[in-house]
Structure 1
């Protein structure tokens, strides 16, 4: 299991898991860029959908504001709100002539309509927020107060300063998503309806003695059904929540056979439980980061030790920290189990990025955003898996194809019934086809045939497909997403004992000063941000970028 408590709200990620580079000579691995699809955002080899702006704006026709004989409203408050909005749009004002629980009589201050140059008495941020939500635009994460000022001024000639626009937008968002308090009030009922719509879903809500929220755990039945078809490497991560009530969103994710993120479980806790202090200096950050990356990616112990000695000479404090972190947990060479090709925090960083826009939502709206995202992912990936015509997943086919070209350059010689010697220049490796191993250790750890194994398979006339672990098969991918994730059914009857239960919000723990939107970064992250982009080399003969013939071995 990988535990990475790292929130990169600014989108920082690394290229340690570029699966398209596996099986290519080391010189090419350092230089070959990662291709990025225009419709997908990738954190290296991890494919994840780009977060889309909410474009479901609840725009209504302005004619619905008109008052007429025979109109009905739910309450007198609804009528007053509609009347106040009308005064802002039509630029007039009124006063209450008579009001009681069953009667409301108002009179205009002047006869007819009057021109308004700045604002009316009724143009509070609550009224403007309702006007903006229903008749102007959306309240998505990319909408800023300046956009609200411009939109209301352009359509209704309403002028306001920044902070009133800020309160207007905040109120409009509360009208759409609910208030922070209402999210906790609806939580118990929401979880009940969610479990009814998704069989096998597990939830756990913990309250304190005063019925205040402590923590929440959620695992969809679809995720639990699909987990047996995942490689058994978990990435556990946490990202802090924003808004009135702070907390931390924890995620447990895996990766499917097509190198896509597979969410397993979610949790919301009241307080952060980890910190990021490392204790070593930022000196020589860029060079140290490069060495740590090479040490982590080294497959052989001898290669790892050579690089690790260089780290000790360059930065003893960093070396001590990495030793304390236990090399068995962050390196390919020393990890005792099946880590496959999962090593870094790319999955965690990608999940933090895709959920960053929802961190300030009320808790029920946050959970609903997660549910909607997972519903879309499971549906799209299920359909995509069914359309695949190969035995292996599309991502694995691309990885193996990139290795085939290099495998053609290798010299193969039989050793015995199960072992084959593969050479290229002065480099020699032994492939054991029976136990699916290679002395380069890529075959052992990734569970995918390396270039040496592919060359051996070609020599023995063995299909490289059967050398791959079953987790990478298309059938496993289909089974991973076989169960759909359903939205809650508002028609589901909720028992009275559930409705009567109330989860109160936790006590706010807002610190003085302006809230931070991103955490402080440590030395390796800063070095990673400052590193230069990789240069793309071009073949002098074919004029194509990427792979070149080399005598080096992967």
Structure 2
């Protein structure tokens, strides 16, 4: 007697569209209910508008080293051969083991592993029974400058030795935005995959074939709506997809009005930007940041982490009539958004129309 064990599926348009998404994959698992037990594994990415991008699915017997290794291996074989990917997950032992297995295809430098900050913070709260420690850890995790991270870590160490002992067991590179080197584009949680899991919440009671078909129809609709949005964007001639990227750039441009720019080497495009208090509520001002246009760096570290120009870079652009476009990662531009959702789904043929 044949017994169902596992099934993996990924749709062609998702495979093609992922080539234009951020090199980030969020993975998560959720239990199936009803007559058919098991676990639904979901892999998602993030598009140019910082929205969830459905990538691959699987139904397995449960979350363990074998199932996660198989799922990630299927993604590597059937979905993407991109190098430099960053996989964001919780700290499930099965995921950690799979990511460290060279045979699966996600070991460094082909891929990197990052832990969901929200999961670590939640586990820390349970470990030390303190909401304050949870919040202090999250604040430290999101720091973009070394000095500020060190200050936050000192506060945690002074407030709770037990919390510090728990935190330092996890490498900084796997949860600290400052240590990330720009691999996760500022995305520090698995919220994207969990969001798509919630979309499929009602499907967890369905038979396997019905579950697969439901994901097909939902992902097709998802593509159709965003394809129409990208076409409207193209008609307007927008360089960046609204609202997320556009809002970030507009916000940074507004801040740039209060910055003072001094050129230190026009030939090498090295500038110093001094922030001023201006009219912004809570603004301190007086900070100095070095902007290097050749190396695409700013002392604030934001362009490296978020792949978008910070207010200091935009202040230089305005002062010297330079374009901010080279500072915007290609995967965050409108062309990438259009290419992501350009692939077409085709309807599933009725059984009576199938050819032998």
Normalising by the residue count of structure 1, what TM-score does the alignment of the two structures yield? Answer: 0.49
Deviations 1:292-322 (A, max 9, x none): 1111111112211221222233333433333
Q: Does structure 1 residue 374 correspond to structure 2 residue 219?
A: yes
Contact kept, 8 Å, 1:280 with 1:321, in 2: the verdict is no
Match in the other structure for 1:415: 264
Deviations 1:509-532 (A, max 9, x none): xxxxxxxxxxxxxxxxxxxxxxxx
Q: Does structure 1 residue 301 correspond to structure 2 residue 146?
A: yes
**1:435 to partner: Cα distance:** 1.9
Deviations 1:51-90 (A, max 9, x none): xxxxxxxxxxxxxxxxxxxxxxxxxxxxxxxxxxxxxxxx
**1:421 to partner: Cα distance:** 0.6
SS of 2:348's partner is coil
Over 3 Å counting, the alpha-carbon distance change for 1:493 and 1:234 in structure 2 is same
Q: In structure 1, how many angstroms separate the alpha carbons of the residues matched to 2:241 and 2:62?
A: 40
Over 3 Å counting, the alpha-carbon distance change for 1:311 and 1:279 in structure 2 is closer
Q: Does structure 1 residue 457 correspond to structure 2 residue 317?
A: yes
**1:340 to partner: Cα distance:** 1.2
Q: In structure 1, how many angstroms separate the alpha carbons of the residues matched to 2:15 and 2:126?
A: 42
SS of 1:338's partner is coil
**1:284 to partner: Cα distance:** 5.0
Q: Does structure 1 residue 228 correspond to structure 2 residue 79?
A: no
Structure with greater helix share of residues: 2
Contact kept, 8 Å, 2:133 with 2:156, in 1: the verdict is yes
SS of 2:185's partner is coil
**1:471 to partner: Cα distance:** 0.9
Q: Does structure 1 residue 322 correspond to structure 2 residue 167?
A: yes
After superposition, the CA RMSD in angstroms is 2.0
Contact kept, 8 Å, 1:431 with 1:437, in 2: the verdict is yes
**1:281 to partner: Cα distance:** 4.1
Matches within 5 A, 1:58-457: 210-273=1-64, 274=92, 278=123, 281=126, 283=128, 285-388=130-233, 389=236, 390-394=238-242, 395-417=244-266, 418-424=269-275, 425-457=285-317
**1:397 to partner: Cα distance:** 1.1
Over 3 Å counting, the alpha-carbon distance change for 1:287 and 1:328 in structure 2 is same
Structure ranking higher on relative contact order (CA contacts 8 Å, 6+ apart): 1
**1:325 to partner: Cα distance:** 2.7
SS of 1:435's partner is coil
Q: In structure 1, how many angstroms separate the alpha carbons of the residues matched to 2:171 and 2:349?
A: 48
SS of 1:477's partner is helix
Name the stretch that deviates more: 347-356 or 374-383.
347-356
- 5+ residue gaps, structure 2: 65-91, 94-118, 276-284
Q: In structure 1, how many angstroms separate the alpha carbons of the residues matched to 2:125 and 2:255?
A: 41
Over 3 Å counting, the alpha-carbon distance change for 1:486 and 1:321 in structure 2 is farther
SS of 1:258's partner is coil
Larger Rg: 1
Aligned pair count reads: 286
Q: In structure 2, how many angstroms separate the alpha carbons of the residues matched to 1:423 and 1:284?
A: 42
Contact kept, 8 Å, 1:470 with 1:476, in 2: the verdict is yes
Match in the other structure for 1:493: 354
Contact kept, 8 Å, 1:240 with 1:248, in 2: the verdict is yes
Over 3 Å counting, the alpha-carbon distance change for 1:302 and 1:263 in structure 2 is same
Contact kept, 8 Å, 1:385 with 1:477, in 2: the verdict is yes
Deviations 1:161-215 (A, max 9, x none): xxxxxxxxxxxxxxxxxxxxxxxxxxxxxxxxxxxxxxxxxxxxxxxxx421111
Q: In structure 2, how many angstroms separate the alpha carbons of the residues matched to 1:356 and 1:343?
A: 23
Over 3 Å counting, the alpha-carbon distance change for 1:357 and 1:437 in structure 2 is same
Q: In structure 1, how many angstroms separate the alpha carbons of the residues matched to 2:270 and 2:33?
A: 57
Deviations 1:333-354 (A, max 9, x none): 1124522121122213312222
- 5+ residue gaps, structure 1: 1-209, 496-554
Over 3 Å counting, the alpha-carbon distance change for 1:413 and 1:228 in structure 2 is same
Over 3 Å counting, the alpha-carbon distance change for 1:321 and 1:484 in structure 2 is farther
Normalising by the residue count of structure 2, what TM-score does the alignment of the two structures yield? Answer: 0.75
Contact kept, 8 Å, 2:24 with 2:45, in 1: the verdict is yes
SS of 1:214's partner is coil
**1:466 to partner: Cα distance:** 3.4
Q: Does structure 1 residue 470 correspond to structure 2 residue 321?
A: no
Contact kept, 8 Å, 1:392 with 1:465, in 2: the verdict is no
SS of 2:6's partner is strand
Q: In structure 2, how many angstroms separate the alpha carbons of the residues matched to 1:279 and 1:229?
A: 36
Q: In structure 2, how many angstroms separate the alpha carbons of the residues matched to 1:266 and 1:315?
A: 41
